[in-house]
Structure 1
């Protein structure tokens, strides 16, 4: 697997599997960032508003990509996904734990997601980072923290 594929895989894991991280945090005013993510990461992203801007850009690219847009059209609600991704990424970056979504396993169990689709989401996420002028390394921090959940998402 080349470096670009590994990076793509890590980002997709972050986006699609971060829900599983919810149980790692107690509901409180503010969480600690995931280990390996600096305590000022949420501020570097522009706070919750910056994370929301990224989530909007993410779904813009997802909905343009024929490898994956049908999954979101058929099984998802992009507006709700933007809302949940904003909550999730804000929490991962050290903001409040307000995540209201299902676990990654439950959310993806019947979708039969393959690695190509997973990597397409990763590409969309990096495109979203570029669109909002977020540093590449800031995207990678979140991806690396959430990457272990790939197996909860890729089921075929």
Structure 2
């Protein structure tokens, strides 16, 4: 990820200062599932240390990794949009430490401070665009690999 897609770097300092008191520090052990595609999305994280792999379910038992995330990256956007369900799954590739934000508290702050909400939405939208492009590339690559080997 580039600095442009790191959410906290995109926000003006005054907005970061309003947002950070809502954060709590959490950790995830290596190989733990952080969330599953389709489950309820009620929070998001900014990764402090470690690596998380985003994945998409391609069958009942198979997941395709689509994007590795590291320090400074946003993990989760589905808390922002109804029906508040995860669009991807996520797994800790290594031990992870992160700031966790409650989605409803952040949405309430955005309602009180619309300019902060607009800045946050722009930042999340840029991250979404990057992630969706990465997912599309991985899915096309996987499809082409199966066509070449005769599975499709």
Q: Is this a same-fold pair by TM over 0.5?
A: no
Name the one with the larger strand percent. Answer: 2
Output the TM-score relative to the length of structure 1.
0.35
Larger radius of gyration: 2
| Structure with a larger share of its residues in helix | 1
Which structure has more relative contact order (CA 8 Å, sep 6+)? It is: 1
So what's the TM-score if we normalise by structure 2?
0.35
